[in-house]
Amino acid sequence: MKARLLYRDRDFDWRPPLEEAALKEAARAGRRNQTRTCDSSRGLPWNTDALTTDLALGTLFETMAQGDDYIFEVARRVLLCGVSSDIETIGYRQAVLLDCLDHPAAIRSLYAIAVEAMEEQKRHYLGSFFARYPDAVLRHGIELVSAMLDLLQRLRRIADAQAHSFTSEGVTALFATLQRDLGEEYLAQVRRDLDELKFRDGVLLSAALGKGNKGSTYVLRRFPQCPRTWLRLISDWLRSQLRRLRGRVDVRPAQPRQGASPVYSFSLHPRDEAGAHALAELRSRGIALVADAVAQSADHVRDFFGMLRGELAFYVGCLNLAETLSRKGEPMCIPVPEPPGEPGFQTRGLYDVCLAAKLGTPVVGNDADGDGKGLVIITGANTGGKSTFLRSFGLAQLMMQAGMFVGAEKYRASLSEGVFTHYKREEDASMKSGKLDEELSRMSEIVDHVRPYALVLFNESFAATNEREGAEIGRQIITALLEKRIRVACVTHLYELSRGFVERRSGDVLFLRAERARTFKLVEGKPLPTSYGEDLYKDIFGGEPDAELPAAAQ
């Protein structure tokens, strides 16, 4: 069976990429500085750390997880790997997400069962580790499958009760599979088979004579079926007890069961260790194939529950985030993805979901229409909401491509072949390089990985040198990216940089400006030669700045 809630035609890699100890350590560290130990093996982007830091993704993952480390890791992986999703996959997930938002209790019940199944598997893990012999393997497999049967039955009951309420392709296919493959008659037959494999009446084997009259081709046989009356059960038990009391090897024709052929039997002395060891070897040879089949069945059931848990974990994380934003009265919408060929986006009321999750007061949303614009330049007043808007734009792009809702009243954007961030950093504490050197090194790394139709976010980049040099460096880099059909959004205080694009290609650029009143609203407007630093100076120091300072410095 397959869950197939994240992909229509393939499975999600549900196995946790971090060791349990590493997960706990990450939780203690606040989860914001995740290491890239498993990034290469799990397909996470090479710039995972930069994206997590610059876009405050740790806050998003924590809000989705609500203390569940597994949901945290799944949300991290799905969101960061979502940049590779196509429109069909995004639409498939959005339909499942809408079902989840309409029926959160059913989804949480399914997830709780999957979690319980994996915890049950952990309780049997120690037994499987020491199960080296067929008898032990068989016993462990029977115990695990028996424990899982009740959970499978609970899944099917939820499917029976809720199947008519869900409409998405992913959930309806899952429920149809549960109803088809886990009927009451089938589960009852599995229980009877498992009970029979406990071999309470002993093991019936057949074998052929091989070289040197040694046994070969051992085959496990079923006892001939005959009515098991109470008298028959008591008689069989008394006969077995008499054989034990005689305490000697007794080779004689046994009384055949009704309708069965005559057979010979023998019994061992209770202290015959060599004989007991020989019989144990014969038993192991006979049940080896059955033990392997039961173990594979147990692994199959375990993998199904693990896959179900992993895929549901993403949607439960989305439910947690949606409930958090709903309590704060923030709007959410299902975004409209468009092919990556035509750059642009259009949004109404876009806000930073990470900021909304942390603040106790409503956040300010912004409107923008960037259709046909490959470049967005954001200027204006200091602390006016420029960096927050840039972060909300990057978050919305990642959330949309992961198949999530977006923190906005409306959002439509073309898909990106990767999201990259180039934010200013603190001075290098090791003194190995200057700030400009470090900025250019990071830019070189981005150039090595960026592809056409990607999205690059600049936040106060190339401001570590004087304005003329910083503007020229930024202009050349941004122009080269645009020529390669790479979308760019840039927050800058370099007036020379923004003015250069006004003069050269203003028709291809969306100019947004933060208002002087610090309303955190951005409006369409060309850049001004000041960022109103004078206002901040008055608020903080209570005096007037030096009149001889150039306007750009104020």
Give the lowest-confidence range in 260-274, 501-515, 524-538. Answer: 260-274
Phi, psi of 416 (to 5 degrees): -115, 140
Query: Does residue 536 register a pLDDT over 80?
Result: no
pLDDT in tens, 441-455: 999 999 999 999 999
pLDDT of 430 reads 60
CB of 501 within 8 A of CB of 527?
no
Of all helices (H) and strands (E), which one includes residue 423?
Answer: strand 419-423
492 CB burial (10 A radius; 0-12, 13-18, 19+): buried
Confidence of residue 18 (pLDDT cuts 50, 70, 90): very low
Report domain extents, the chain: 20-197+295-327, 204-291, 336-541
The mean predicted confidence, pLDDT, of the chain is: 82
Tell whether the torsion through CA atoms of 246, 252, 255 and 260 is positive or negative.
Answer: positive
pLDDT of 307 reads 92
Confidence of residue 12 (pLDDT cuts 50, 70, 90): confident
Residues 6+ apart with CB under 8 A from 25: none
pLDDT of 190 reads 86
Query: Does residue 86 register a pLDDT over 60?
Result: yes
**From CA 417, how far away is CA 415, in angstroms rounded?**
7
CB of 397 within 8 A of CB of 411?
no
pLDDT in tens, 277-294: 777 777 777 777 888 888
pLDDT of 26 reads 46
**From CA 151, how far away is CA 157, in angstroms rounded?**
10
User: And the tokens for 411?
Assistant: 């959002």
**From CA 431, how far away is CA 153, in angstroms rounded?**
63
Q: What angle, 0 to 180 degrees and rounded to 10, lies between the N-to-C axes of helices 134-162 and 273-327?
A: 30
Domain 336-541, architecture per CATH: 3-Layer(aba) Sandwich (3.40)
Residues 6+ apart with CB under 8 A from 534: 544, 545, 554
Residues 6+ apart with CB under 8 A from 10: none
pLDDT of 553 reads 45
Residues 6+ apart with CB under 8 A from 547: none
pLDDT of 42 reads 52
Q: What pTM does this model have? A: 0.81
Task: Give the strands of the sheet with 366-369, arranged side by side.
Answer: 336-338, 410-414, 345-350, 366-369
Distances (CA, A) of 87 to 123, 214, 398, 401, 529: 41, 64, 13, 8, 41
**From CA 371, how far away is CA 341, in angstroms rounded?**
12
**Residue 2: closest CA among 338, 214, 301:** 301
Between residues 44 and 275, which one has the greater pLDDT?
44
**Residue 262: closest CA among 217, 209, 224:** 224
CB of 130 within 8 A of CB of 136?
yes
Tell whether the torsion through CA atoms of 31, 44, 342 and 423 is positive or negative.
Answer: positive
pLDDT of 138 reads 81
Query: Of how many residues is the chain composed?
Result: 554
Q: β-strand 509-514 against 375-380: which pairing, if any?
A: parallel
CB of 329 within 8 A of CB of 353?
no
AA letter at 31? R
Confidence of residue 11 (pLDDT cuts 50, 70, 90): confident
pLDDT of 228 reads 55
Share of the chain above pLDDT 90, in %: 46
Residues paired with residue 345 on neighbouring β-strands, in sequence order: 413
**From CA 150, how far away is CA 146, in angstroms rounded?**
7
CB of 463 within 8 A of CB of 501?
no
34 CB burial (10 A radius; 0-12, 13-18, 19+): buried
Across the range 470-483, mean pLDDT stands at 93
Residues 6+ apart with CB under 8 A from 426: none
How are the residues of the chain apportioned to helix, strand and coil, as percentages rounded to the nearest 5?
Answer: 55, 10, 35
Helix (H/G/I), strand (E/B), else coil: 95: helix
**From CA 401, how far away is CA 83, in angstroms rounded?**
6
**From CA 324, how far away is CA 450, in angstroms rounded?**
34
